[in-house]
A and B are shown apart, each in its own frame.
Chain A
Amino acid sequence: MRTIQFREALREAMSEEMRRDENIYLMGEEVAEYNGAYKVSQGMLDEFGAKRVIDTPISELGFSAIGIGSAMNGLRPIVEFMTWNFAVLALDQIMNHAAKMLQMSGGQYKVPIVFRGGNGSAGQLAATHSQSFEAMYAQIPGLKVITPSNPYDAKGLLKAAIRDDDPIVFLESEKMYGDKGEVPEGEYLLPIGKAHIVEKGEDVTIVSFGKIIKEVYKAAEELKKEGYKPEIIDLRTIRPLDYATIVESVKKTGRLVVVEESWPYGSIATEITYHVQQNAFDYLDAPVQRITQADTPFAFSVPFIEESLPNAKRVIDAVKKVSYAS
């Protein structure tokens, strides 16, 4: 199978869908003439023209609102944020308008829109440029939240997101755009709301999502050398979350570690832990462990980053802890 970059997978998803449906357009900072701040939309202006690939001024609140208004009136916008950190300026439109429009209008106005862009830490960018927003957006009823971790998932999930009639928060990573992976030539969609069991296992369940799952893969290589058989679940979608797949796995393994890039308080890991103790209490052989970012803003210098972010060693330690091996 051919291998392409994460950014190319996203571009293929958008381009294929835009060829299929005239009402889809892409809007954001530097998406057109600059060919994308991270080259995700490279070449799209040439193919689709300035009517459908639109450069915006640096006005996240304003262009998000224009996107939502156009979606209320029959279009299907893809709004790119250079990073989700800047989308905080647009939160009123995403949270108060896109997420609530269908309900407040009694079902009269849907908002089929995809907001997408880089999420989470992207190197030494310090506190304002390094945040992961999965838990924050996942708390908001009316939105769906998607977190691809590799090129294959990125393409299939983005195509599904563009076709979905509900407003979608699609969280990528600047650190993943160059990642390569196998992506088939033909068209495919991945279902929203379904987790993916990346690796079958027996003795511990490790749940993660987004780019930080790569630390889980590194940890799993080491753990397997020591005889562990971890089952690895990539959530793919955060809202709605595929609880059933997690619970089924925990019933089999009896042990759960959740690895998440964002902060611990009110995290996805915490949400999963609540659900598992409710639905698989009698199957648990050990308390659930979570690995998250430090409970502080993200600081600039390398030792701070190393202290803050989840890593393979911490995953290994957590697996050993739930296995009473440490």
Chain B
Amino acid sequence: MAKKFDKKTYLKWFESMLLMRRFEEKCGQLYTMQKFGGFCHLYIGQEALLAGMVSAMHKDDNVITAYRDHAHPIALGTDPKLVMAELYGKKTGTSKGKGGSMHMFDKSKNLFGGHGIVGGQIGLGAGIAFAEKYKGTKRVTYCFMGDGATRQGILHETFNMAMMWQLPVVFVIENNGYAMGTSVERTSNVTKLHELGESYDMPAMPVDGMSPEAVHEAFAKAAEHARKGKGPYLLEMRTYRYKGHSMSDPAKYRTKEELAAYKKEDPIEKVREVILKQKYATETALEKIAEKIQKQVAECVEFAEQSELPDGSELYKDVYVQKDYPFLKHY
């Protein structure tokens, strides 16, 4: 498989996955140090999904996801400083401190959020694709959801309409095996999640989500299908989160052996091996990339800490488009 992708792609994957990894590790540290509040759901272990998507997608395609969303804007090219500032609730954040960890949006990158209600984004993603079809564009929408979200009713309503209306949407299940603490096996008799599209005749496939090569090829195939007007595609990305559901979850529902087995499949390590084996870069060069990323993450923290908190009066902005909306007094 290695031959299908060039040096540039491997180096890009390595750098982008390492940035996501180091950024999230730093988030975990900062959260433990109580530098910011709210929930904190880390993407560590799942980076290949975004690396493979970004190398396969068209630049103006759309992305929408759930609340495990720090890495999506970073993968799409949003300045990670703005993501960190949002986690800190600063006015320089992606949503000016109004969204926080679970609500990362970047309109300039066609990132439609960051959504905290499990499954809510499934229907929104189909709606974003509906608008593209309505306007006659060739843009594809990638709609991410966790394995837990596949048990929401909205999935079935959306799959049905998306198929009936042949919407250009790729549904992407980030199947990391656990809906918070409940394993996929404990939520349904149907544990092969790609089969969930079958009732609606939706083409689907399982994908090795720990392999950026496999992920890229799956995204490319699914996106081409959607872009040609053939309708939705469902990708079940089999992945693993190394950390708990959120920072407050010690993940006692799974074994150390299971975690260790997945870590052996670590996408960053595997890409590193290919790079070294193919002599795309030397150990020293990769070390330099790692150092650069470490510095970049440190700069994110510095930026976030030095940014100002929003003024309380900003609360009344961005609630309505109407500028002079007459809010009621509450004290």
- Residue B105 is within 8 A (CB to CB) of chain A in the complex: yes
* Pairwise interchain contact A105-B120, C-beta atoms closer than 8 A: no
* Pairwise interchain contact B321-A61, C-beta atoms closer than 8 A: no
- Residue A297 is within 8 A (CB to CB) of chain B in the complex: no
* Pairwise interchain contact A103-B130, C-beta atoms closer than 8 A: no
Bound Cα distance A108, B158 (Å)? 25
Interface string of A211-242 (1 = CB under 8 A from B): 00000000000000000000000000000100
Closest residue of B by beta carbon distance from A55: B164
Q: A63-B157, A96-B120 are in contact. Are A109 and B107 (CB under 8 A)?
A: yes
Contact of A106 among B95, B120, B321 (CB under 8 A): B95
Chain B stretch 295-319: residues in CB contact (< 8 A) with chain A: 317-319
Selected interface stretch from A3-11, A64-72, A118-126, A129-137 = A64-72
Q: How far is the CB of A43 from chain B (nearest CB, A)?
A: 21
Chain A stretch 48-74: residues in CB contact (< 8 A) with chain B: 51, 56-57, 59, 61-74
Q: How far is the CB of B9 from chain A (nearest CB, A)?
A: 29
Bound Cα distance A193, B325 (Å)? 9
Closest residue of A by beta carbon distance from B93: A106
Q: A96-B120, A109-B107 are in contact. Are A70 and B157 (CB under 8 A)?
A: no
Bound Cα distance A107, B317 (Å)? 8
Residues of B within 8 A of A57 (CB): 157, 160-161, 164
- Residue A110 is within 8 A (CB to CB) of chain B in the complex: yes
Residues of A within 8 A of B96 (CB): 106-107
* Pairwise interchain contact A62-B154, C-beta atoms closer than 8 A: yes
* Pairwise interchain contact B321-A25, C-beta atoms closer than 8 A: no
* Pairwise interchain contact A65-B154, C-beta atoms closer than 8 A: yes
* Pairwise interchain contact A108-B131, C-beta atoms closer than 8 A: no
Selected interface stretch from B13-21, B121-129, B189-197, B259-267 = B121-129
Chain B stretch 153-211: residues in CB contact (< 8 A) with chain A: 153-154, 156-158, 160-161, 164
Residues of A within 8 A of B129 (CB): 69
Bound Cα distance A72, B107 (Å)? 10
Contact of B120 among A74, A92, A107, A142 (CB under 8 A): A92
Bound Cα distance A59, B154 (Å)? 9
Q: A62-B154, A66-B127, A142-B320 are in contact. Are A108 and B160 (CB under 8 A)?
A: no
Closest residue of A by beta carbon distance from B321: A165
- Residue A266 is within 8 A (CB to CB) of chain B in the complex: no
* Pairwise interchain contact A105-B99, C-beta atoms closer than 8 A: yes
Bound Cα distance A142, B319 (Å)? 5
* Pairwise interchain contact A108-B95, C-beta atoms closer than 8 A: yes
- Residue A314 is within 8 A (CB to CB) of chain B in the complex: no
* Pairwise interchain contact B135-A74, C-beta atoms closer than 8 A: yes
Contact of B122 among A65, A70, A108, A110 (CB under 8 A): A65
* Pairwise interchain contact B131-A73, C-beta atoms closer than 8 A: yes
- Residue A184 is within 8 A (CB to CB) of chain B in the complex: no
* Pairwise interchain contact B123-A69, C-beta atoms closer than 8 A: yes
Chain A count of residues within 8 A CB distance of the other chain: 43
Of A56, A72, A166, chain B has the most CB atoms within 10 Å of the CB of A72
Bound Cα distance A72, B154 (Å)? 18
How many interface residues does chain B have, given as a range? Answer: 35 or more
- Residue B272 is within 8 A (CB to CB) of chain A in the complex: no
Closest residue of B by beta carbon distance from A101: B113
Contact of B130 among A70, A110, A193 (CB under 8 A): A70
Closest residue of B by beta carbon distance from A106: B95
Q: A65-B123, A106-B94 are in contact. Are A59 and B161 (CB under 8 A)?
A: yes
* Pairwise interchain contact B322-A73, C-beta atoms closer than 8 A: no
Residues of A within 8 A of B322 (CB): 164-166
* Pairwise interchain contact A72-B128, C-beta atoms closer than 8 A: yes
- Residue A93 is within 8 A (CB to CB) of chain B in the complex: yes
- Residue A176 is within 8 A (CB to CB) of chain B in the complex: no
- Residue A305 is within 8 A (CB to CB) of chain B in the complex: no
Interface string of B67-110 (1 = CB under 8 A from A): 00000000000000000000000000111111100010111000
Bound Cα distance A65, B169 (Å)? 14
Residues of A within 8 A of B117 (CB): 92, 96-97
- Residue A302 is within 8 A (CB to CB) of chain B in the complex: no
Q: A59-B161, A97-B124 are in contact. Are A74 and B113 (CB under 8 A)?
A: no
| Known contacts A62-B154, A64-B123, A105-B98, then 14 further A-B pairs from the complex at CB < 8 Å, ordered by chain A residue | A57-B157, A61-B154, A65-B158, A66-B130, A68-B127, A70-B130, A71-B127, A93-B120, A102-B320, A103-B98, A104-B113, A105-B95, A106-B94, A240-B325
Sample 20 A-B pairs with CB under 8 A, ordered by A number.
Answer: A25-B134, A61-B153, A65-B123, A65-B126, A65-B154, A66-B123, A68-B127, A72-B128, A72-B131, A74-B131, A75-B130, A92-B120, A102-B318, A103-B318, A106-B96, A108-B95, A110-B321, A142-B319, A166-B322, A240-B325
Q: Which residues of A contact B (CB under 8 A)?
A: 25, 51, 56-57, 59, 61-75, 92-93, 96-97, 101-110, 112, 141-142, 144, 164-166, 193, 240
